[in-house]
Amino acid sequence: MASTLSTRRLIGGSYTVDVTCGLVAHSDGLSSRIFRCPLSSSASFPFSPTTPSSSSYLPELSALGLAAERAGGVGGWICIKRVHTDDEPRPHSIRREVALLTTLSDDNIVPLLAAFLDTSDPFGEFIDLVMPLYAATLEDVLIEPSLLRLPSPACEGVQRAGESIQQLWQESPEGFAHSVAVQMLSGLAFLHGKEVAHRDVKPPNVLIAHTGAVRLCDLGTAFSASHCVDEGQKMVCQVGTGIFRAPELLFSPSHYDPYAIDVWAAAVTLAHFYTALIRIPTTRAKVAEVDERTSWQRAFDSNTTPPSPGSDELVFWEEEPPMPQQTASGYIRTPLFEPDRGDIGLAASIFSLLGLPTDAKHWPEAEHFHPPLHRLPFTPTRAKGISSALPLATDPNPLVEHLIIPALHLSASHRPTATQLLHSLQSQHTPRTLK
């Protein structure tokens, strides 16, 4: 089961046992593939209270399996993140991730058990990161109907990753959300204290153990002050993912505060505990629309075929909106911001909730945007308020009041630090339940 190929060598971590057999596809990233690898013949996933104990491991794998379990991993498994080094778009760097995880150790950061460089492929080398396999991601949890006590769809007896840890929120969903928030902020505060910024905080990068422990993963685009070759070098803005990107990243500044974009992304991530959870339709609904064409246009459209490609003729047609992508639970979260219209659409969506100031004193960084604040192609608007987009939040709600609203400030200089938000949240009383 263990590989002895001379084309693989250890470049990180402390466990030299190289396991590459029996890999099962788990998920995919932008420049990586994630596999789970069984260490026991009785390994099963998703998590179950009857997961194999260390006594069922092969002798040469017991140390690796025990290390993964001690870190909160699902018994009988490890996780392997595989990256082809030639396929990494800037600023992705698996080597930087290995270097950071080798030196960083915290209860809320995923541990690196081992890292192997493989040169067996004549078309390019790849690196495998060996880590514990966790029961679920926050993305799995946020689409769980049991979190809001909604009916669970029939799924032919197949258990979902999020469903497998529902005992964590059965007593208090709001208490669970509070715990996730505290641990996320604790992990970010640790990273920021080491002058490291994650730069891609989002639900899939928040791992949740069956014990309730939370760990941040994927430092592939992380910023590290110690790895900056030239402090005057322009910072890469193509970091973060979709609606979790801070507004300053949308306007190509030459410099930005990488720690502040983590705070923004964490707040957007946690806000999705309170956005609507909706059932995905299984069939496309027919929407009645008013036909505004004239009688001659309707006659023309009903008696002709569409013109051939390249024709100068015009024809009326309706493009149906795409069906929502199916999920394991049959539910999706309503996104806090508009995700489907690129950076301009995202910016407009942010401004519709937070407003757009006209004076640079309210958003000083915007004077260095491309274009600067006074030339942005948006009409100044008043804020609707984040609370208007969080229908599931109780009133009052400590997580919304003491984390989400303060962190979602247009100006990075006005956002609290992760440490400040952590202290503020820890000082609050026991949370109320979700609606």
Averaged pLDDT for residues 233-262: 91
Averaged pLDDT for residues 296-318: 51
Which tokens in the block code for residue 103? 């030196």
Give yes or no for residue 431 having a pLDDT over 60. Answer: no
Give yes or no for residue 230 having a pLDDT over 50. Answer: no
Where do the domains of the chain lie?
10-133, 139-278+326-426
Report yes or no: 366 and 360 within 8 Å, Cβ to Cβ: yes
Nearest CA-CA partner of 162 in 200, 209, 202, 205: 209
CA 197 to chain centre: 15
Quick one: pLDDT at residue 155? Answer: 60
Q: Is 406 exposed, middle or buried (0-12, 13-18, 19+ CB in 10 A)?
A: middle
Nearest CA-CA partner of 350 in 236, 251, 238, 205: 251
- Contacts of residue 322, Cβ cutoff 8 Å, sequence gap at least 6: none
Any bridge partners for residue 115, and if so which? Answer: 12, 129
Domain 139-278+326-426 has CATH 3.40.50.300: no
Topology (CATH level 3) of domain 10-133: Phosphorylase Kinase; domain 1 (3.30.200)
Give yes or no for residue 121 having a pLDDT over 90. Answer: no
Give yes or no for residue 179 having a pLDDT over 60. Answer: yes
DSSP state string for 183-198: HHHHHHHHHHHTTEE-
What's phi and psi for 193, nearest 5 deg? -65, -25
Averaged pLDDT for residues 267-286: 86
Task: Dump pLDDT digits (tens) for 27-60.
Answer: 988 889 999 999 988 888 999 877 666 557 777 7
Give yes or no for residue 319 having a pLDDT over 90. Answer: no
Nearest CA-CA partner of 163 in 138, 178, 141: 141
Averaged pLDDT for residues 249-254: 86
Residue written as token pair 């309170």: 274
Task: Give 131's pLDDT tier (boundaries 50, 70, 90).
Answer: very high
Nearest CA-CA partner of 349 in 417, 408, 393, 413: 408
pTM: 0.87
- The answer for 310, left when phi > 0, alpha when psi is -120 to 50, beta otherwise, is left
Residue written as token pair 């270097």: 99
